[in-house]
A and B are shown apart, each in its own frame.
Chain A
Amino acid sequence: MKKRLLAMILAGALAVCALAGCGSKENGTGTDSASKEEGSPAQEQPAEGDTQMEAPEEETTTSGTTGGGDVTVRLAWLGSGQDKEALDACLQKFTDKTGIGVETVYIPGSWQEYFTKIQTMVAGGDYIDCVYVAIEGFEMFIDTGMAAPIDDWIAAHQEEYDAVAGDIDQNVIDKVTFDGKIYAIPEEWNNVVTHMNTNLLEEAGLSIPEADWTKEEFLEYCEKLTKEKEDGTKQYGVVVPGYYFGAEAWLYNNGAAYMNDDFTKSTINSPESVEVFQLMQDLIYKYGYAPVPQTGVDEIQLLIDGNVAMGFWGRWPTNNYNANGFRDVAVQYIPSFSTNQPIWGGGGIFTMNASKNPDAATSLACYIGSADFIREFMAAGAIPVLNSVAQDLVSELGYPQNNQIFWESASFAKAVHSPIQYPECVDIVDRAISEILVNQADVQSTLDAAAVEMDSCLMDNIE
């Protein structure tokens, strides 16, 4: 008895040692660049027993380029590292050209989780040189002092910068400019458009609508595309965009928005906004054209599987279409409820304040924003901000049909509202959407309550 127990504890102790090795090694990779700088080889030698366990980690946790000189830049990237070979290959060219090494830290999860994790990494003293940030995080990164302006770098590398920025709409550059200072090299963006399963359109005898199609035409499409399928399940005409970005895209097309452009006052309960949310609710309950939104259901998949005929997303579903070998899809602008004002949500590479090599970091950012990099790295997914590249890449993919609407609105798309209080606002909007679309709550009173809540959280922005 005693022996077995001892054996168990011993086994435990062994595991502890292994973990300890793990932990210290993890620190090793964590400060890799630092140790390289100091030329200290000590951390490169894990204990014998650890090597096996460490092997896969070294390969995938972070990945990096080889042949970098004294300077290595740490780049934070959203994702699981599935694209690491492609990314490494692209970044290798940067290292070859500049002698600056790149280590990429992959952080999986949603944008929200990604920002939170970076925030805590920074708080915990784990420094990062540059980071890909989407518009949802712009204000937050600047307000907390995590991001640094790059104007000095631009002044010193004007030519390099112009080669990239010259191909980007001023409208986009404005979105990374705060208080007259430029903070990032923009990279990619998305609008929100109507995606249509062309097989279902054909079955219903419909063609792709005009760019300025109206609410009435839209309802007509919905009606014709909603039907009972042979196996007894329902084919829905449309799935409503019940998420922050998508819903505001609908609001924009009715001249409404969640808040004013100074982020000081909520306008979510304006008559135009109420009208849009009422339409969404009616699509589900009054007309029965749309399914009730549900957590855990992938709506893009519903479109691919033919369970739903129309949905509202940016260009990111092309990844899903690719993965499923699905090509029968077309896109058109969101119906003009009263106007056609495309939305803009994108991201760029920010240089962190804590960076030890801000110069090298910004150079890397600029390289990632350059045509060289984007042409090679991006095929499907978001829309490149570089106008020339965007046109080529989007049409090269060959589908969805009518795909020029992805890039042609870059010069007049309007940014999704993302104040510093973005996490709170998302929470408020998500709850309101869920109350309206799932619990069938009264639209006006729900939005009134949301407006009050949003006002109190935007109060800090009034100066």
Chain B
Amino acid sequence: MKTMSVKTNKKPLSAFQKRKKADNLAGYLFLLPALIAFVLFIGGPMLLSLALSFFDYNLIQPLEFVGLKNLKRFIADPQVRIAFLNTLKFLVILVPIHCILGLLLAFAVSRVRSGRMRSVYRGVIYFPTIVTTSSVAIVWVYMFGTDTGVINYFLRQLGGSNVPWLTDKNVVYLTVALFSFWKFIGTAFLYYFIGLQNIPDVYYEAARIDGAGTRQIFLRITLPLLSPTIFFVVVTNMIGVFQIFDEPFIITGGGPGTATKTMSLYIYQIAFQQMKTGYGCTLAFSIFLVILMMTLLQFGGQKKWVTYDYE
């Protein structure tokens, strides 16, 4: 993204821009609504959250300064380790699913010649993302029931035995992964699809003339030219998975045991069920730090594989 802004600076200024060169007032005026909202709902709360982690607060009784008590608790809390580990597991499972399968699907659909079929496929694959997560999650709970569920019924019919979709601490990850694929693959798919549409045909034609096969075209042309999109999808996906809440909350309730208890679920429990607002802020801030580190690492690493200058 840095490269992009550098590029615009290099562009010759239009007559209009020259005349109103340093339009500081206009720039900030247009930015003002966003800035106010940003300070109120993102930046400000972020700092407030840091400050609150040094207090005990239950919304009713007055704030009580407790120094590093919450931090000490954070370090000693076994639930924190479990929740971080689970979040990490989701990261390792879900990010590749979305980033890789989404790309392959987008590539496959973009290869479909018939425009009508292409839009049908695109529509269907994207469709689950537009429906209410909580309502379809409810549906999945019914479908994945061990004894009464639809899925196990068919497995039994096919001669298999019941799969403990929601009652085994390992299988439950498969269940959530299946749900996540079905529900959210459309998002990554769509970003890739846009990216693919934007690759000028000339590149493909040139490659075809050179006699390249599908696989070669994919590896040599699609992948490099799509790298900014891939980068974008990976980063947004990782941030998204770190906030995963709806699925464990509705489908598994964080269980069985603590198998799918994620950080955001834990924060919800601490802050909004147990009313330990201060400690909740400590937890929340820790997530922010981890995401920040991860994203910085990725931005550092992007130079090696992301190319922005094909246009």
Contact = CB atoms under 8 A, between A and B. Distances in A.
Complex A–B touching at CB under 8 A: yes
Given A307-B147, A424-B274, A296 B256 contact: no
A239 to B, nearest CB: 11
B147 A144 contact: no
B274 A232 contact: no
B253 A431 contact: no
- The contact size tier of chain A is 20 to 34
Interface string A408-430: 00000000000000011001000
Contacts of A439: 168-169, 256-257, 259
Interface in A386-439: 423-424, 427, 431, 434-435, 438-439
A431 B145 contact: no
B169 A123 contact: no
Contacts of B273: 112, 116, 423, 427
Contact of A294 (B156, B166, B169, B257): B166
Interface in B220-272: 251-253, 255-259, 269, 272
B142 A434 contact: no
Contacts of A233: 147-148
Given A424-B274, A431-B258, A439-B259, A294 B167 contact: yes
A423 B258 contact: no
B180 interface: no
Interface in B251-303: 251-253, 255-259, 269, 272-275
Contacts of B148: 233, 297, 307
Nearest to A423: B274
B145 A295 contact: no
A234 B145 CA distance: 14
B147 A434 contact: no
Contacts of A293: 167
Which residue among A120, A434, A441 has the maximum number of chain B CB atoms within 10 Å of its CB?
A: A434
A10 to B, nearest CB: 18
A145 B251 CA distance: 36
Contact of A123 (B59, B146, B156): B59
Given A116-B272, A123-B59, A146-B60, A295 B142 contact: no
A292 interface: yes
B156 to A, nearest CB: 6
A60 interface: no
Contact of B257 (A119, A307, A435): A435
B164 interface: yes
B141 A144 contact: no
B253 A234 contact: no
Contacts of A307: 147-148
B58 interface: yes
A291 B275 contact: no
A233 B259 CA distance: 27
A119 B277 CA distance: 13
B114 interface: no
A110 B258 CA distance: 21
Interface in A269-312: 291-297, 307
B257 A441 contact: yes
A296 B257 contact: no
A232 B145 CA distance: 15
B61 interface: yes
Nearest to A143: B61
Contacts of B60: 119, 122-123, 144-146
Contacts of B166: 294-296
Nearest to B167: A292
Contacts of A122: 60
- The contact size tier of chain B is 20 to 34
Contacts of A427: 269, 273-274
A412 to B, nearest CB: 33
A431 B169 CA distance: 13
B275 A296 contact: no
A233 B164 CA distance: 15
Interface string A87-127: 00000000000000000000000001000100110110000
Which residue among A145, A423, A435, A439 has the maximum number of chain B CB atoms within 10 Å of its CB?
A: A439
A144 B145 contact: no
A116 to B, nearest CB: 6
A146 B60 CA distance: 9
B59 A296 contact: no
A232 B147 CA distance: 10
Contacts of A145: 60-61
Given A116-B272, A296-B141, A232 B156 contact: yes
Contacts of A146: 60
Interface string B132-151: 00000010011001111000
B275 A294 contact: no
A441 to B, nearest CB: 7
Contacts of A296: 138, 141-142, 145, 166, 251
A244 B269 CA distance: 17
Given A297-B148, A434-B257, A439-B257, A119 B274 contact: no
Contacts of A453: 78
A233 B148 CA distance: 8
A120 B59 contact: yes
Given A116-B275, A295-B141, A234 B147 contact: yes
Which residue among B138, B146, B275 has the maximum number of chain A CB atoms within 10 Å of its CB?
A: B275
Interface in A361-382: none
A434 B256 contact: yes
A296 B248 CA distance: 12
Contacts of A123: 59-60
A122 B275 CA distance: 13
Given A112-B273, A423-B273, A427-B274, A294 B59 contact: no
Interface of A: 112, 116, 119-120, 122-123, 144-146, 232-234, 291-297, 307, 423-424, 427, 431, 434-435, 438-439, 441, 453
Closest 9 CB pairs between A and B?
A438-B256, A296-B141, A123-B59, A435-B257, A292-B167, A295-B253, A423-B274, A434-B255, A439-B257
Given A427-B269, A435-B258, A438-B256, 15 more contacts: A119-B59, A122-B60, A123-B60, A144-B61, A145-B60, A233-B147, A294-B145, A296-B142, A296-B251, A307-B147, A427-B274, A434-B256, A434-B257, A439-B168, A439-B169
30 contacts: A119-B58, A119-B59, A119-B60, A119-B275, A120-B59, A123-B60, A144-B58, A144-B61, A146-B60, A232-B156, A233-B147, A292-B164, A292-B167, A294-B146, A294-B167, A295-B166, A296-B142, A296-B166, A307-B147, A424-B274, A427-B269, A431-B255, A431-B257, A431-B258, A435-B257, A438-B257, A439-B168, A439-B169, A439-B257, A441-B257
